[in-house]
Amino acid sequence: MMGVRKNVRKNVRKGVRIVMVVTAATVVMMAYGIQQATAQATFYLTGSEYHWTRGSAQPLVQQKVRAMLNENKLRSVSDSNKADLLIKIFCSSSYNGETPLFFFATLDATLKIYDKKKGAVVYTNEIRRIKGGGTTQALADDKVYANASQIIADTLARFVFMYTTGKPYPIYKKASEFEVLCDADADIPENLPERKNTYVLIIANDAYSPMQMARCAHDSVDHHARDARVFKEYAIRTMGIPERNVQTIINAKAFEMRREIIRLSSYSKGIQGKAELIFYYAGYGLIDEKTYEPYILPVDIENDDPKFALRISDLYKMLQEDVSKRISIILETSFQFDALQARPAKGKAPKIAMLYPNAPANAILMAAAKPGQTACSDEQAGHGLFTLAILQKLKGTKGKASLKEVSDFVIQNVKEAIIRLKFKEQLPQTLVGSSLNKEYNTSKF
């Protein structure tokens, strides 16, 4: 028995020593792994950018590339001797023609990455004819560089990430449909769904072609998709509309817009005309050259053929295919003449009072601006001024504001914002149908 006990004690001590050795080795390996995981590859950016309208300029593309690489856990250094990778970016833009009141540019880029440890070029790429356009030559030049910045940054970030980690480039998913940029985006008030007979159609168009943007006198797309996505959250959470009653379409084509508007109207059939309909549109609009009537612009048409253009009067008719209790039309858009069409000289141009068509008896129209004015945006907030004011009022009143209270607040708030931001005149418009005059002061927005 004594011999057995000695052997057991000996084996136990031996086992303890083995365990301790293994544990120590594991700790060292773990520490090494952590060090490797937390070590950041360093990079040094160099190159040049030539603009066809102003010659050499401060690098814009390099700023975008640096920011994206930093997001992927790489570190920028100011001394090339301390960098693991040398990244060279050479860009040059050039004139590419014009149409009336619109200019086009292209950009060519050469990309190279040199690995100092290997002493070799590990990546090279020639990107040709990136396109951009604007209403002036300078804006066209700026736009093509903005487009190139995103394309080049994405291209380099993918390669560098895979080269330094040996892993596939990650696809990041946003936790929300929109990034919180202002107070209106955060802490959206919540109410229980109580407006079960209210149906909402939200359309946001921002995938316009350069020609469409030129016609609408815009150099870049505004915050239409953001406006729509945040408005949707307010409709569901704050206005108490069931989520199943809210339909959102981003970048709607002409046929799709008409189909969904008619479908919105049809919801009133099953509840004997007791439905309330809300149509929210964020996108571009134009004014008919002959009738001076405003119309909203789908993403798939380049002209104003009556078969495709959705005029405000057509919108009224489609929403009234079936009788409804109330129709609310909210337009975050500008209505202006086609910028590519020649305009009469100032002295010869007829004086025209451009107005929205009168709202039907059971409808209310709220528009961001008068026809002919520009609906401006707050770049920091990431919203159109008109939509931002609506969201602010809904948040401040937790969805209890009346139609009139929202309208009055929006008009005053936009006026103040225009003065503060030094924009051109923008006056939101509200038209109230004859049968809604009494409830305009009391009914919820």
CATH for the 183-339+354-441 domain, from 3.40.50.300, 2.60.40.10, 3.40.50.1460, 3.30.70.360: 3.40.50.1460
The whole-number pLDDT of residue 219 equals 64
Give the SS3 label for residue 114: strand
**95-107 pLDDT, tens digit each:** 988 876 678 889 9
Segment (H or E) for 249: strand 246-250
Q: Angle between the 385-397 and 224-233 helix axes, to the nearest 10 degrees? A: 20
160 in Cβ contact with 74 (< 8 Å) = yes
Integer-rounded Cα radius of gyration of the chain: 30
The CA-based angle 151-129-204, given to 5 degrees, is 55
Give the residue from 154, 152, 132 showing the smallest Cα distance to 144: 132
Give the residue from 167, 156, 155 showing the smallest Cα distance to 37: 167
- Report how far residue 284's alpha carbon sits from residue 377's, in angstroms, rounded to the nearest whole number: 13
The whole-number pLDDT of residue 1 equals 47
Q: For the chain, which ranges sit under pLDDT 50?
A: 1-2, 4-6, 8-38, 173-175, 349
- Cα-Cα-Cα-Cα dihedral sign, residues 12, 17, 21, 26: positive
Query: Domain 42-165 is in which class?
Result: alpha beta
Q: How many CB atoms lie within 10 A of CB 269?
A: 13
**DSSP symbols for 267-294:** TTGGGTT--EEEEEEES-EEE-TTT--E
- Report how far residue 105's alpha carbon sits from residue 96's, in angstroms, rounded to the nearest whole number: 5
Segment (H or E) for 140: helix 137-165
Q: What are the extents of the domains in the chain? A: 42-165, 183-339+354-441
pTM score of the predicted model: 0.63
108 in Cβ contact with 92 (< 8 Å) = yes
What dihedral angle (degrees, nearest 10) is formed by the CA atoms of 150, 155, 157, 158? 140
